[in-house]
A and B are shown apart, each in its own frame.
Chain A
Amino acid sequence: MTVVEVSVTGAPRRGVLSRVVSRLGNGVVQVGLALVALFWLVPVFGLLIASLRDEASNTASGWWTIFTAPTSLTLSNYADLVGNSTVLRSFLNTVYIAVPSTVLVVVISALAAYGLAWIEFPGRLWLTTLVVGLLVMPIQVALIPVAKLFGSLGLFGTITGVVLFHVAFGLPFAIFLLRNFFAGIPRDLVEAARMDGAREWVIFRRVVLPIAKPAIASLTIFQFLWVWNDLLVALVFADQDSAPITVALRAQLRQFGTNIDLLSTGAFLSMIVPLAVFLAFQRYFVQGVLAGSTK
């Protein structure tokens, strides 16, 4: 009753005036949001410009002066950095750490997720709950013990050690994400394969994995960027020869003001890969982050 009444009397009241007001309001909202977006872009843009100016111009004036007095931008910082053997090696180390960490996490967690989602065994729920509990485990609790362990195994300061640590701490979220996805696969598909006499391994490979491609894509991107962007793990477990780019650049932080050219270029260099991955696979990345947010 009330719905009908109000809609009848309410319609004329929402007349020209209120429409104008809501249009105006909408305009204000749009301008406000545009300003907010600008706020988000300016810091990155500033870093980009700083990385394209030489040391002298960076110490003499801010990056924004390119608008009033366009100085020549140069790629020389990038050339210098790429020509620097330490930086180049650390960049390669980042790749050597991030790629195996990602591959291993995806493979191992997919196996475990299948075991938890589709094979019944005693203690399954208990084990899944344990994985859920480990989701938010701070890596700090493992730094000292694992450093000791790696020390006695000769893994301390090696890329292998850094990779193993990343894999272990990447697993809870990865298993959780894939288990949830696998568990959502229609039971008939799996059961039908079982009736046909397919072994678990075959079902995993031929039935489950093809369906789970989107989830695996999200996980791959999330894990790759997580490891690529890491500083703390490598800071503890890598040595000079195995340090990724974040750790290598960290050594230059002490004289920030005079190192802006170097630091901005290095930071931007380390950002290129994540930004490219992000722009190319936005949807998968966003899904991965939303799922892995508790990490």
Chain B
Amino acid sequence: MTVAAEKPPAGSRAGRGRSPNLAVDPTPGRSPRQAVPFLVPALVLLAALVIYPLVYSLVRSFFDRSGASFVGVGNYVNLFTDPRTLTAFKNNVIWVVVAPALVTGLGLVFAVLTERIRWATAFRLVLFMPMAISLFASGIIFRLVYEEDPNQGVVNAVVVGVHDLFSDPSPYPGAQPRDGAAFTAAEEGFTSSQTFTPGTAVTVPLVGFAPGQIPAGASSASLPPSDARELRGVVWLDVSVGGRSGALDRGERGVPGLAVEAVRDGRVVGRTTTGNDGRFTFPDLGAGDYALRLAASNFALPFRGLTWLGPSLITPVIISSWIWIMTGFAITFIAAGLAAIPRDALEAARVDGATEWQVFRRVTVPLLSPVLLVVFVTLVINVLKVFELVFVIAPGSVQEEANVLALQMWQVSFGTGGDQGAGSALAVVLFLLVAPAMLFNIRRFRREQS
């Protein structure tokens, strides 16, 4: 500091060369004494609440949980062996590798595309809007978007809608033959443990389905008369209230449209569907023993979408919400850089016969690369500090899978952990991770000053 006192710092704009700096009275704009009242409030706050804490954290990270005994690098060693912290590291790596590049790319594409449309300002405004609201509120927005129940989360509602468009829902989800009817469940469906020969009439009582949801056309069920050449039977909804269980009571209705299969030696040899009265018939099976099977497709539970907020998808889900928040920033930043590109360069390339893609690849992107780098670095720093989104979107049970360093630091120091030694070590690690960006900023600043 005293060395620098000899001459004014390079690049200073103030009060140079007006009057010689020899006067006894401080020359206006040239004395430390005049700077003091301007700088002191800021310096006191920065020293007490930013710089001193940084040093304190560094020192504290070498002491144990209570701060009483020195443990050397013990806390750091523990960090790299603790599975929770390792998960957080792993997730941070995923975040850093995937998210900033994606957002920079999206920002570049949208910035270029919106250059030529009339409502570009409106578009950018809409995409910038998430920057204004809190990460907490954004977290709640996306918790709702990805909620698993398709009656609450819009993503699963769409997924289920598309799925049901291509495959019909099963007619009797959750229904099954009554226990006493001797059917065993397997992947293909419910297969009878007994075999039947043509000429028999089989009764299949079905339970586990609300009588009100049976198709309106269903009529009362009755056992078909047996025929020597045919395997026949009836499937009905066995209501035991006010009737006998397992027996075909008056007024009980058949189960229409149910797929029934005849199985011989493990192979399906006949397939039929029950009528409105629940009756089914296999006309030409030939002599022999056949097991009956109620196909699984009859009873499949309706598709409910994906568990977005479960352990396996949680990190991509949270990254998607971050993309929603940050893309507007990238677009606006890159668009500002785009506006600064000399039109001549682009026009010259176009006149030379370059296609728009070539102009983009060979002229726009290279000229933009300094801006893209700044956006990318900024996004990396932002990603390293992600806390609220994980905290809010990941349900408590999967926070361990979604963990990131910033969240882990809070958990360890203030949440469940209460270990300020380990917390300090994590804080120092976070500091070291953003340190390159710090140097990047300082170098950029120094270059601008010289």
- CB of B8 within 8 A of CB of A46, answer no
- CB of A138 within 8 A of CB of B388, answer no
Interface segment, one of A71-79, A81-89, A116-124? A116-124
- A211 interface contact, C-beta 8 A: no
- The answer for the CA separation of A286 and B1 in the assembled complex, in Å, is 37
* From B132, B144, B437, B449, contact of A294 by CB (8 A): B437
- CB of B144 within 8 A of CB of A36, answer no
- CB of B332 within 8 A of CB of A290, answer yes
Q: Which of B136-152 contact A (CB under 8 A)?
A: 136-137, 140-145, 147, 149-152
- Could you tell me how many residues of chain A have their Cβ less than 8 Å away from some Cβ of chain B? 117
Q: Which of B1-46 contact A (CB under 8 A)?
A: 1-2, 4-5, 8-15, 18, 28-32, 34-35, 37-39, 41-43, 45-46
- CB of A143 within 8 A of CB of B427, answer yes
- Give the residues in chain B near A50, CB-CB below 8 Å: 144
- The answer for the CA separation of A191 and B28 in the assembled complex, in Å, is 9
- CB of B141 within 8 A of CB of A267, answer yes
* Closest Cβ neighbor of B116 among chain A residues: A26
- CB of A40 within 8 A of CB of B38, answer no
* From A127, A236, A254, contact of B396 by CB (8 A): A254
- Give the residues in chain B near A41, CB-CB below 8 Å: 126
- CB of A43 within 8 A of CB of B45, answer no
- CB of A122 within 8 A of CB of B5, answer yes
CB distance from A100 to the nearest CB of B (A): 13
- The answer for the CA separation of A62 and B1 in the assembled complex, in Å, is 64
- B303 interface contact, C-beta 8 A: no
- The answer for the CA separation of A136 and B383 in the assembled complex, in Å, is 12
- CB of B144 within 8 A of CB of A260, answer yes
- CB of A145 within 8 A of CB of B351, answer no
- CB of B42 within 8 A of CB of A111, answer yes
* From A115, A120, A135, A165, contact of B12 by CB (8 A): A120
A59, A111, A125 interface centre (most CB from chain B within 10 Å): A125
- The answer for the CA separation of A167 and B32 in the assembled complex, in Å, is 25
- The answer for the CA separation of A33 and B125 in the assembled complex, in Å, is 13
A37, A133, A140 interface centre (most CB from chain B within 10 Å): A140
Q: A138-B385, A229-B133, A290-B332 are in contact. Are A123 and B5 (CB under 8 A)?
A: yes
- A44 interface contact, C-beta 8 A: yes
1/0 contact string of A25-51 vs chain B (CB within 8 Å): 010011011001100111110110010
By secondary structure, the A interface counts as helix
* From A112, A143, A230, contact of B42 by CB (8 A): A112
Interface segment, one of B83-91, B236-244, B270-278, B409-417? B409-417
Q: A232-B388, A271-B137 are in contact. Are A108 and B143 (CB under 8 A)?
A: no
- CB of B134 within 8 A of CB of A119, answer no
- Could you tell me how many residues of chain B have their Cβ less than 8 Å away from some Cβ of chain A? 115
CB distance from A238 to the nearest CB of B (A): 12
- CB of A271 within 8 A of CB of B38, answer no
- A137 interface contact, C-beta 8 A: yes
Q: Which of B148-195 contact A (CB under 8 A)?
A: 149-154, 157
* Closest Cβ neighbor of B32 among chain A residues: A121
- Give the residues in chain A near B406, CB-CB below 8 Å: 138, 140
- Give the residues in chain B near A108, CB-CB below 8 Å: 41-42, 45
* Closest Cβ neighbor of B406 among chain A residues: A140
- CB of B46 within 8 A of CB of A236, answer no
CB distance from A171 to the nearest CB of B (A): 6
- A126 interface contact, C-beta 8 A: yes
CB distance from B94 to the nearest CB of A (A): 19
- CB of A145 within 8 A of CB of B133, answer no
- CB of B42 within 8 A of CB of A109, answer yes
- The answer for the CA separation of A47 and B351 in the assembled complex, in Å, is 49
- B442 interface contact, C-beta 8 A: yes
- CB of B378 within 8 A of CB of A293, answer yes
- CB of A6 within 8 A of CB of B353, answer yes
A58, A61, A122, A275 interface centre (most CB from chain B within 10 Å): A122
Q: Which of B45-93 contact A (CB under 8 A)?
A: 45-46, 48-54, 56-57, 60
- CB of A271 within 8 A of CB of B134, answer yes
- The answer for the CA separation of A43 and B320 in the assembled complex, in Å, is 12
1/0 contact string of B364-380 vs chain A (CB within 8 Å): 00000000000001100
- Give the residues in chain B near A152, CB-CB below 8 Å: none
- B322 interface contact, C-beta 8 A: no
CB distance from B441 to the nearest CB of A (A): 5
* From B41, B137, B437, contact of A111 by CB (8 A): B41
* Closest Cβ neighbor of B385 among chain A residues: A138
1/0 contact string of A266-286 vs chain B (CB within 8 Å): 011011001101100010011
Q: A119-B29, A256-B395, A290-B336 are in contact. Are A111 and B38 (CB under 8 A)?
A: yes
Q: A62-B152, A64-B157, A133-B438 are in contact. Are A164 and B14 (CB under 8 A)?
A: no
- A91 interface contact, C-beta 8 A: no
Q: Which of A203-241 contact B (CB under 8 A)?
A: 204, 225, 228-232, 235-236
- CB of B35 within 8 A of CB of A115, answer yes
- CB of A231 within 8 A of CB of B128, answer no
CB distance from A160 to the nearest CB of B (A): 13
- B424 interface contact, C-beta 8 A: yes
- Give the residues in chain A near B123, CB-CB below 8 Å: 33, 36-37
- CB of A138 within 8 A of CB of B384, answer yes
- CB of B46 within 8 A of CB of A168, answer yes
CB distance from A206 to the nearest CB of B (A): 14
Q: A200-B38, A246-B134 are in contact. Are A194 and B28 (CB under 8 A)?
A: yes
- B426 interface contact, C-beta 8 A: yes
CB distance from A224 to the nearest CB of B (A): 11
- CB of A112 within 8 A of CB of B14, answer no
17 contacts between A and B (CB under 8 A): A6-B352, A33-B117, A62-B150, A64-B157, A115-B39, A135-B441, A137-B434, A140-B385, A142-B53, A169-B50, A171-B46, A194-B18, A194-B28, A199-B28, A246-B134, A257-B149, A274-B134
Contacts A41-B126, A125-B10 aside, 5 further interface pairs with beta carbons under 8 A come to A40-B130, A134-B50, A231-B134, A270-B136, A290-B336
